[in-house]
Structure formats: structure tokens, C-alpha cells
């Protein structure tokens, strides 16, 4: 399997649930990213990991908790979400030795469509 994969593709959860989104990249990249895309809004960068180290947290609420166990896998743990957190969550990766965001081409996964009820 090649490219960037994300699971699940669709997720419906209640506000008291705990769930996790998974991203896996098969490109040998060292940087991975979580983005949020809400309806009618631009993409928002949430987290950046470079060589498994979190380098950026763009003022994301603590109910979103990222985890990067190795350079190929990235998780986004979700708990006590709000309805306004309903969005498309996109994972991306890049080969980015300098850690300079968007200085290198990014490869995106298909996204997880999250609905919080």
C-alpha cells in the first residue's frame, strides 16, 4: 500500500465518547501533520510532528490529543468533543528535514469526516 491512509473514513461520536483517528504514511517521510477543515472555512493546521517530536501546536484545545509513536504513524485522540468540532480531519506527510512548514511538498490522506452529536 502506498501514500497516506487514514482510518476511519467516517466517524459519528457523542460528546462523552473517546475515539481515535489514525494516519499512516508509506512514503518514508519524517514529518506528519493534522489539519482540520470545517464547513465554509479554510484549512487549519492543528499539529506538526517532525522525527516523532511535536514541533507545533496551533492553539488546539486539549480535548484533541496527538500521538506519534514513530515516523510512519500519527494518531489524534478525541474526548469530550463539542458539536462545533464536527469537520473533516486531514493528515499529511512530507520529507521535511528542516522542519520548515510547507517548505516541502505535502502528501495528504483522504481525511476522516467526523460528526459530533
Partner 1 sequence: KNEVEQSPQNLTAQEGEFITINCSYSVGISALHWLQQHPGGGIVSLFMLSSGKKKHGRLIATINIQEKHSSLHITASHPRDSAVYICAVRSGGGADGLTFGKGTHLIIQP
Site residues, partner 1 (CB under 8 A) = 37, 40-45, 48, 56-58, 88, 90, 92, 100-111, 113
Nearest distance from C-beta of residue 59 to partner 1, angstroms: 8
Nearest distance from C-beta of residue 30 to partner 1, angstroms: 17
Nearest distance from C-beta of residue 73 to partner 1, angstroms: 20
Looking at the Cβ atoms of 80 and 88, the one nearer to partner 1 is 88
Looking at the Cβ atoms of 82 and 103, the one nearer to partner 1 is 103
Measured CA angle at 68 (ends 65, 69), to 5 deg: 125
Nearest distance from C-beta of residue 108 to partner 1, angstroms: 4
Looking at the Cβ atoms of 48 and 76, the one nearer to partner 1 is 48
Q: Look at the alpha carbons of 21, 74, 46, 77 in this order and tell me if their dihedral is positive or negative.
A: positive
Distance between CA atoms of 34 and 93, rounded to whole angstroms? 9
- Side by side, the strands of the sheet bearing 18-25 are 4-7, 18-25, 73-79, 64-70
Distance between CA atoms of 69 and 108, rounded to whole angstroms? 19
Amino acid at each position: 500500500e502506498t501514500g497516506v491512509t487514514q482510518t476511519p473514513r467516517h466517524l459519528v461520536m457523542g460528546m462523552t465518547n473517546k475515539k481515535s483517528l489514525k494516519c499512516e504514511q508509506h512514503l518514508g517521510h519524517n514529518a506528519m501533520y493534522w489539519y482540520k477543515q470545517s464547513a465554509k472555512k479554510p484549512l487549519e493546521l492543528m499539529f506538526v510532528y517532525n522525527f516523532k517530536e511535536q514541533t507545533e501546536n496551533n492553539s488546539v484545545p486539549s480535548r484533541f490529543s496527538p500521538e506519534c509513536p514513530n515516523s510512519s504513524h500519527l494518531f489524534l485522540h478525541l474526548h469530550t468533543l463539542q458539536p462545533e468540532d464536527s469537520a473533516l480531519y486531514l493528515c499529511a506527510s512530507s520529507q521535511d528535514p528542516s522542519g520548515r512548514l510547507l517548505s516541502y511538498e505535502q502528501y495528504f490522506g483522504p481525511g476522516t469526516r467526523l460528526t459530533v452529536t
